[in-house]
Structure 1
Amino acid sequence: MSFLNLAFIERLAEERIKKAQEEGDFDALPGRGRPLCLDDDAHVPEDLRMAWRVLKNAGCLPPEIEAQREIHTARELLSGLTDEAERYRQMQRLNLMITRLNLLRRRPVQLEAEQEYYDKVVARVPVNDKRPK
């Protein structure tokens, strides 16, 4: 599509929305006056949030986005753990999830972001010769 076609479609959509507002078509919508139920999409890059929401509402969450959500949850869980053995197990689980995510990606892996996270985790976890069984 050319830029002119997109501009035309955008203008047409805006005109139809204004007309519907003036005619009161939006006045009796279900949920009016109640707060929106917003998703926790902080783990999704800002430029992908709209596409993510459309896919999620359609029940078609991409595997990469689902994996990113699981990694985000695991990171939060890991930051709250105090038991060293459990932290070690969760770190292994997190590393496996990151490896799987990297296999799903269609673009080059951004090692810098994961290396920074890894360095922070290693700095917070005490190291000893005892490994959990």
Structure 2
Amino acid sequence: MMHTVEEILRQAVERGEFQNLPGQGKKLDLDEYFCTPEDRRVAYALLKSNGFVPEEVQLLKEVEVLQEQLRHTTNEEEQKQIRQEIEIRRLKYNLRMERLHRR
């Protein structure tokens, strides 16, 4: 016997399977979704739900980590090295964004 999606969802609601879910009653934050170019939304959502992030997001995260390291480093040589790494990642990010906007 085949059930429609609506029927399966109705039965799940009746069984209380949607009670006490994380974030229940909270507003959904869809800003990131709608800021993503329409032709990439599904792919990015799929990657994100499986623990992957787009290259440009990963680069920004790496810059944040490096900036934190820079704040806690007193060694001048290490600071110089970290600054270079930050600049490399920012350059990669900018190139990646430029490529994406040209498509």
Q: TM-score normalised to the size of structure 1?
A: 0.45
C-alpha distance in structure 2 between counterparts of 1:53 and 1:83, whole Å: 41
Hey, which of these two has a bigger chunk of helix by percent? 2
Shift, 1:18, TM fit: 7.1
Residue 85 (str. 1) matches residue 69 (str. 2): no
* Residue 61 of structure 2: aligned partner: 69
Match for residue 48 of structure 1 among 20, 32, 37: 32
C-alpha distance in structure 1 between counterparts of 2:57 and 2:67, whole Å: 15
Instruction: Please provide the CA RMSD for this pair.
Output: 3.7
**Amino acid corresponding to residue 48 of structure 2 in structure 1:** K
Residue deviations 1:99-126, cap 9 Å, x none?
1111111249xxxxxxxxxxxxxxxxxx
**Amino acid corresponding to residue 75 of structure 1 in structure 2:** Q
C-alpha distance in structure 1 between counterparts of 2:101 and 2:71, whole Å: 28
Shift, 1:80, TM fit: 1.3
* Residue 10 of structure 1: aligned partner: none
Shift, 1:17, TM fit: 6.0
Shift, 1:96, TM fit: 0.8
Q: How many positions carry a matched residue from both structures?
A: 82
**Amino acid corresponding to residue 64 of structure 2 in structure 1:** H
| Structure 2 portions without partners, runs of 5+ | 1-5, 24-29, 35-40
Shift, 1:61, TM fit: 1.9
Residue deviations 1:79-111, cap 9 Å, x none?
111111111111011111111111111249xxx
Measured at CA, do residues 53 and 74 of structure 1 come closer, stay the same or move farther in structure 2, by a change above 3 Å? farther
**Amino acid corresponding to residue 23 of structure 1 in structure 2:** R
| Structure 1 portions without partners, runs of 5+ | 1-12, 37-45, 109-133
C-alpha distance in structure 2 between counterparts of 1:107 and 1:72, whole Å: 23
C-alpha distance in structure 1 between counterparts of 2:93 and 2:51, whole Å: 20
**Amino acid corresponding to residue 47 of structure 1 in structure 2:** D
